Amino acid sequence: MLYDRKITCPVCGSVFKARAIKKNSYRIIKKDPDFFIRYSRISPYFYDVWVCDECGYASIKTDFEKLSDYDADTIKEQLTPKWHKKNFPEVYDIDLAIQRYKLSLLNYYTINSKPSKKAMNYLKLAWMYRLKEDSKNEMNFLTQALDNLNSAYFNESFPMYGMNKFTAMYLIGELMRRTGAGEKSLIWFSQVITSTMASENIKDLARQQKNLVSNEVNENSINKQQKDKKKGLFNKFRI
């Protein structure tokens, strides 16, 4: 299911083997509304980060070769002296994937990468914790992904990691919904739904999630009303 790709590190120039998954070795089981894909057998997310074990440079593979000389020097000066070789195993598991996504994030912070890059990295980390059913860490990283995506939305140009403006707006709404800002998410979903430029596909997703939030908001207010009613009774009888 796996094979090696020869990669030249843009920081130190050494050639290393990056593990890669053969296309026919995984199958999509399900897609979550925030675009996380659940795969059967082996997950491509586990092999999404490339790491040069010589110098410690790491990034999500689509960004790996897009590095300026200035950023390469920064990594050489600030990160490489602290790097200890890891000798990663042949097959990666979820804990190793988490470690590698964190390493990539450390690189993005070292070279002060754009918020969109950090957002994607945080989002993928959150998904790994979702797979592990560790909701505390998942929420923490979803929140960071949302902060960075918000900043990317207002300061960067589109397309961004294959997302157009409306997909990003939808995703901001969805991350808000997941991190407990349901009422705020309605504004973003509505903007997608009423846009004349957004595709029907993304509008449908926005409609679904908007209904989900509206139901949750209604349920919460009904629960609150019932509680208030009970409270009223208790007060009445001074219990």
Residues that bind Zn ion (CB under 5 A): 9, 11-12, 52, 54-55, 57
The DSSP code sequence of 42-104 is: S-GGGG-EEE-TTT--EEEHHHHT---HHHHHHHHHHTGGG-------SS--HHHHHHHHHHH
- Residue nearer to Zn ion on the CB measure, 105 or 172: 105
Q: Which is nearer to Zn ion, 60 or 206 (CB)?
A: 60
In the complex, minimum distance from the CB of residue 199 to Zn ion, in angstroms, rounded to a whole number: 40
Contacts of 143 (CB under 8 A, 6+ apart): 179
CB of 17 to Zn ion, least distance (A): 13
Q: What is the largest CA-CA distance in the chain?
A: 79
Nearest distance, CB of residue 75 and Zn ion, angstroms: 8
**Smallest separation, CB 124 to Zn ion (Å):** 22
75 or 175: whose CB is closer to Zn ion?
75
Say how far apart CA 107 and CA 41 lie, in whole Å. 30
Q: Which is nearer to Zn ion, 5 or 38 (CB)?
A: 5
